[in-house]
Amino acid sequence: MSDNPIVFIDSGVGGLPYLKMARENMPNENFVYVADNKNFPYGEKSTKELKKLIIDLIEKIIKKIDPKLVVIACNTASVVALSTLREKFGIPFVGVVPAIKPAGEYVVNGTIGLLATTKTVTDPYTDDLINQFASSCKVEKFAGIDLVDFVENKFLTSTEKEKMEVVFQASKYFENLKIDALVLGCTHFVYLKDYFKKSISKNVDIIDSVEGVCQQITRIINKETVKLDSSLIDISESNKTGLFYITGNQFVISKYQNFSKEFRLTWGGKL
């Protein structure tokens, strides 16, 4: 299993910043990214439908790629399907959930803003996180539906002005509520982190889950993988680059090839 890849999945490109940091932390690992464009976006689907879609995709990935670990690089999919995946399949899974815990530790008796998809905002799992890790705080929620589509379809070609404009509505909403911290509860929103920092009060800390998720990946890999002598490890450029796959038929190939290039992944085509 030492050469088997670590696979990241999302409905689109949201998980790529997570893969980037994981690769920086573990340069000797093989990585594969799967953009499930066939089922984009995850955030507006029912729990039952989304769970089945994720299970079917994981079965296909295990059969074709044989990963040693799968990262569900999507808050919505993790909230809905992570426990089922761990029960059903015999490989480790790492999920991405809203960073309520670190936000709760940072904010004491204050107000936390949670920006996420409709599914994540309304799911009882999110309320459980809040009750467990931020019970002393007031948590204000906002579903940033348009932001997911913007990052997926326009981020690489948009101007700095357009990126600032797209975060304005959510920033204004949270600014009026005088929040102390803003949790980016969707992986797509990580792309817009710097723009939220510019558009909202400097006293508001912008919190995401990238670092925490990558630390968990590293812990699992170090625990389950026998460390090899460094002289025996292949650290060729192809090994460090990784592969990008996509599902479905209704996608603009050049757009996803550009994302693949941006994150130094080799285009693998349709899964």
* Residue tagged active-site, from 19, 35, 54, 74: 74
The answer to the question of residue 117 being in a domain is yes
Distance CA 187, CA 77 (A): 11
Residue 30 has a CB neighbour count (10 Å cut-off) of 22
pLDDT at 143: 94
Nearest C-alpha neighbor of 39 from the set 71, 74, 68: 74
Q: Which one of 207, 233, 255 terminates a domain?
A: 207
Please indicate, yes or no, whether residues 105 and 202 belong to a single structural domain of this protein. yes
Residue 205 has a pLDDT of 94
Tell me which residue has tokens 């992986």.
187
Residue 1 lies in a domain: no
**pLDDT score, position 169:** 95
SS (H, E, C) 109-162: CCEEEEEECHHHHHCHHHHHHHHHHCCCCEEEEEECHHHHHHHHHHHHHCCHHH
Concatenated DSSP letters of 68-108: SEEEE--HHHHHHHHHHHHHH-SS-EEE----HHHHHHH-S
The predicted pLDDT at position 1 comes to: 58
Full domain range(s) for residue 163: 100-207
Statement to judge: residues 214 and 141 lie in one domain: no
Which residue among the candidates 186, 206, 210, 221 is catalytic per the annotation?
A: 186
Q: Are residues 130 and 186 in the same domain?
A: yes
Residue 150 covered by a domain: yes
Residue 44: closest CA among 145, 140, 114:
145
Q: What is the CATH number of the domain that holds 13?
A: 3.40.50.1860
Helix (H) or strand (E) holding 45: none
- Residues of the chain short of pLDDT 70, as ranges, are 1, 225-241
How many domains does the chain contain in total? 2
Question: Which residue, 207, 224, 251, sits at the end of a domain?
Answer: 207
Asked if residue 127 belongs to a domain, the reply is yes
- What angle do helix axes 210-224 and 16-25 make, rounded to 10 degrees? 50
pTM: 0.91
Active site residue 186: yes
Domain boundary among the residues 207, 225, 253 is at 207
- 214 counts as catalytic: no
- Alpha carbon distance 10, 255 (integer Å): 16
